[in-house]
């Protein structure tokens, strides 16, 4: 059985870029907050880290959802093509 490879969509490419930007900028800003707080863990620092992690998790979940959606669409397309071929063979 030949494994089909699908192309990445523009949305997935943009999501990858945004994800990297969130990771890099978030780490940079968290580092600045930590330095500004005097190298202490404060409530504001914990809130910043928690919100950053939530954004990272959200981007990962969005990427997984997009991948699953594309896989389902390709599978449905293959099933429709199979049904079409079966109907055409039956009508001959």
Residue 63 covered by a domain: yes
Whether 6 contacts 74, CB under 8 Å: yes
Residue 33 covered by a domain: yes
Residue 3 covered by a domain: no
Residue 67 covered by a domain: yes
Residue 1 covered by a domain: no
Tokens 């969509």, residue located = 9
Residue 8 covered by a domain: no
Helices (H), the chain: 10-36, 43-91
List the pLDDT tens digit at each of the 92 positions of the chain: 566 677 888 988 999 999 999 999 999 989 988 898 888 888 888 888 999 999 999 999 999 999 899 889 888 999 999 999 999 998 87
Range of the domain at 41: 13-91
Residue 40 covered by a domain: yes
Residue 2 covered by a domain: no
The 10s digit of each residue's pLDDT in 15-24 is: 999 999 999 9
Phi, psi of 67 (to 5 degrees): -65, -45
Number of structural domains found in the chain: 1
2 three-state secondary structure: coil
């Amino acid at each position: 059985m030949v494994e089909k490879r699908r192309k990445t969509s523009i949305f997935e490419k943009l999501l990858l870029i945004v994800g990297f930007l969130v990771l890099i900028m978030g780490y940079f800003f968290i580092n600045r907050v930590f330095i500004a707080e005097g190298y202490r863990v404060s409530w504001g620092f914990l809130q910043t880290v928690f919100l950053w992690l939530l954004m990272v998790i959200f981007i990962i979940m969005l990427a997984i959802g997009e991948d699953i959606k594309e896989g389902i669409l390709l599978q449905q397309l293959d099933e429709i093509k199979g049904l079409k071929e079966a109907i055409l063979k039956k009508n001959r």
